[in-house]
Copies of this chain bind each other. A is one copy, B any other.
């Protein structure tokens, strides 16, 4: 199983396969982060909450159970004030 670590270990993820394609499950420590996508990413929060700024949009809060979609080849920003856990699906 592939384990990835970003931002000096403050964001970490574990890779898995789903029937529909690859996914990761991960955790985010409090902080401000910018990410870039290659494929489309469908992120579902499973613990905690965070503010997210998608390309061309304003900041919006996402809590456990909510999903946002980031287009391919795009950047997005995150403000986490608590620990967050997520599942990310790549399609």
Tell me the A residues contacting B by CB distance below 8 Å: 1, 3, 5, 9-10, 12-19, 23, 25-27, 29, 44, 46-48, 82-87
Contacts and interface: CB of A to CB of B under 8 A. Distances in A.
Nearest to A15: B27
**How many subunits of this chain does the assembly comprise?**
2
Contacts of A14: 12-14, 26-27, 85
B18 A46 contact: no
16 contacts: A1-B9, A1-B10, A1-B27, A3-B5, A13-B14, A14-B14, A16-B27, A16-B29, A16-B85, A18-B47, A23-B85, A25-B26, A25-B47, A25-B85, A25-B86, A47-B87
A18 to B, nearest CB: 6
Given A14-B14, A17-B83, A25 B1 contact: no
Main secondary structure of the interface of A (DSSP, over half): strand
